[in-house]
A = this chain, B = another copy of it.
Amino acid sequence: MARISFLSDANGDLRRIGSAIRERRKAIGLSQEALADAAGIDRAHAGKIERGERNVTILNILRIASALGCRPSDLLMDSGL
């Protein structure tokens, strides 16, 4: 049976975005806490975002991208979105 790739998979999308954030964070050698501080968000919240447990708002995506030194669209493209 063919893979049904166009159906939405909200949890998977959130996990993919979280993974993209995590990979870029590690690539530049930041801890979750350092990233959270740089982005101005809570440490526990940053962890939940990376694990795909939060439907993060666009403003926090912008803040996180800024803290990572990349464009918000880069994070989505890393995630295949």
Contact among B8, B57, B62 for A66, CB-based, below 8 A: B8
The SS class assigned to the A binding surface is helix
Seen from chain A, the residues whose Cβ lies within 8 Å of a Cβ on chain B are: 8, 10, 13-14, 17, 55-59, 61-63, 65-66, 71-74, 76-77, 81
Is the Cβ of B57 less than 8 Å from the Cβ of A58? yes
Is the Cβ of A10 less than 8 Å from the Cβ of B57? no
Copies in the complex: 2
Is the Cβ of B63 less than 8 Å from the Cβ of A8? yes
Is the Cβ of A81 less than 8 Å from the Cβ of B55? no
Interface pairs (30), CB distance under 8 Å: A8-B62, A8-B63, A8-B66, A10-B59, A13-B58, A13-B59, A13-B62, A14-B58, A14-B59, A17-B58, A55-B58, A55-B59, A56-B57, A57-B57, A57-B58, A58-B58, A58-B61, A62-B81, A65-B81, A71-B76, A71-B77, A71-B81, A72-B76, A72-B81, A73-B73, A73-B74, A73-B76, A73-B77, A73-B81, A76-B76
